[in-house]
Amino acid sequence: MKKFIYLSALIFLCLLLYSSGHAKMSAYFPIANDPQKLEIAISAATDGTNYLVPVMVPFSDIYAQFIRQDGTRGNKVTIVQNSTSGVFDAHVAYGGGKYLLIWTE
């Protein structure tokens, strides 16, 4: 039941962001930092100027990559490094002047 509520809330948030124009679908562009690793980004949030994208190295690492308005990469923040329990499904939201990043471990 908790997974259903979590998934429903996530879908609602995505639809809300998309319909408000804050999340736009566009062509792919590189966000990942290491071409030798499989790095996956499935979520993004914006403060109206910059974007924060959580990037996962499946079952190992999560970092957050800021993307500037002009599309260049900003600061990179390590969230989880060398996890032994496995990490995946990183998602981010923005509200009230703060970013919220969640993931499954």
Residue by residue, DSSP assigns 54-102 as: EEEETTTEEEEEEE-TTS-EEEEEEEE-S-SS--EEEEEEEETTEEEEE
Name the CA radius of gyration of the chain, rounded.
14
Separation CA 18–CA 45 (nearest Å)? 11
Q: What is the DSSP letter of 1?
A: -
Separation CA 81–CA 63 (nearest Å)? 8
Q: What's the predicted TM-score (pTM) here? A: 0.63
pLDDT value at residue 46: 92
Structure confidence by residue, pLDDT tens digits, 11-37: 555 555 554 444 444 444 555 566 677
pLDDT value at residue 95: 92
Q: Residues with Cβ < 8 Å from 69, sequence gap 6 or more?
A: 49, 50
**Mean pLDDT, residues 1-20 taken together:** 53
Name the range with the highest mean pLDDT among 4-8, 35-39, 66-70, 80-84: 66-70
Please determine, for residue 97, whether its predicted confidence score (pLDDT) is greater than 60. Answer: yes
26 compared with 90, residue with greater pLDDT:
90
Structure confidence by residue, pLDDT tens digits, 37-46: 777 788 899 9
**Mean pLDDT, residues 64-87 taken together:** 85
